[in-house]
Amino acid sequence: MDPNAPGSLARETPLATPGQLRESLREAGKLGAYRAVVRAALEQHRQDEGPLMPILHTVQDSLGHVPAGVVGDIAEGLNLSRAEVHGVVSYYHHFRAVPAGRHVLQVCRAESCQAMGCETLWQGACTELGLPPEGGTTADGAVTLEPVYCLGLCAMSPAAALDEAPHARLNAAKLGRLLDRARADAGAPAAPAGVDRVEGASSGAAA
Ligand code: FES
C-alpha cells in the first residue's frame, strides 16, 4: 500500500502517545503553578529596592528551586533581560534550577576546610553516593550533595551542613554517619556494598 496515497492510515503519525500527552499536561499544570508563585513574588517585592534577589529567594523558598520556565516571567516583571536573571540564578550556588533531593548535604570546600582535608571528604561522599565529582542528586532523589564556600565554622574545619544543620570537625566516619542518616530518613539503603569510606581527613570532637 502506498503510504502517500490519500486517506492512507500509514501516513498518519501520531503527534504523541497518551503517556506523552499526560506528561505534557502535567508539565503545563506545573508551569502554571510556578507562574502563580512568581506573580505573587513580583507583587510582594514590587516596592523593594533591588527586588531581584528577594524575588528569587521567595520563589526558591516556595518551590524548592527556580525553574528555568519562570526566568522569562521574572525578567519581564522586572524589565530585565532573561540573560540577566539567568546570570544571577546560575552565579549563586544557593539557587537551584532543579529541585533538590529530600535531604541536602553541603560540604564546605573553602580555604580553611581545604586545609583540613575537605577535598578528601568531598570525594568520598561523591563516591559513596554514586555521584560525579561535582556532586548533584542521587538517582533515587534521597540526597543532594553540593559544595558550599564557608559555613562560618572555619575554626572547626572541616565543616558541613545537613539540611542546614551545621556539623563541624568532620572526618570520614562522621560524614558517613550523616550520609547514613540522610539515606535512612529518605528511605534509601545505607552505604552501598563495596564502597569504602575515604579516610584521611581531619578528626575531631563531635559537632
Ligand atoms: S572555610 Fe569551611 S567553614 Fe569556613
DSSP character at residue 73: H
Name the residue of 154, 156, 167, 169 whose CB sits within 8 Å of the most ligand 1 atoms, as the mutation to test its pocket: 154
Residue 121, domain member (yes or no): yes
Encode pLDDT of 90-133 as tens digits.
998 889 888 899 999 999 999 999 999 999 999 999 999 999 99
Residue 200, domain member (yes or no): no
Name the residue of 122, 157, 164, 167 whose CB sits within 8 Å of the most ligand 1 atoms, as the mutation to test its pocket: 157
Rg (CA), the chain: 23
Specify whether 78 is located in the same domain as 122: no
**Residue 192 Cα distances to 138, 145, 162, 169, 176, angstroms:** 12, 16, 20, 25, 11
What is the number of domains present in the chain? 2
Specify whether 77 is located in the same domain as 23: yes
Candidate from 79-83, 119-123, 168-172, 186-190 with smallest mean pLDDT? 186-190
Q: Which atom of ligand 1 is nearest to the CA of 168?
A: 3
- How far does the centroid of ligand 1 lie from the alpha carbon of residue 154, in Å? 4
Query: Would the pTM count as exceeding 0.85?
Result: no
Range of the domain at 48: 18-91
Specify whether 68 is located in the same domain as 128: no
Last residue of a domain, one of 91, 121, 141: 91
Specify whether 180 is located in the same domain as 109: yes
Amino acid present at 123: Q
Specify whether 68 is located in the same domain as 121: no
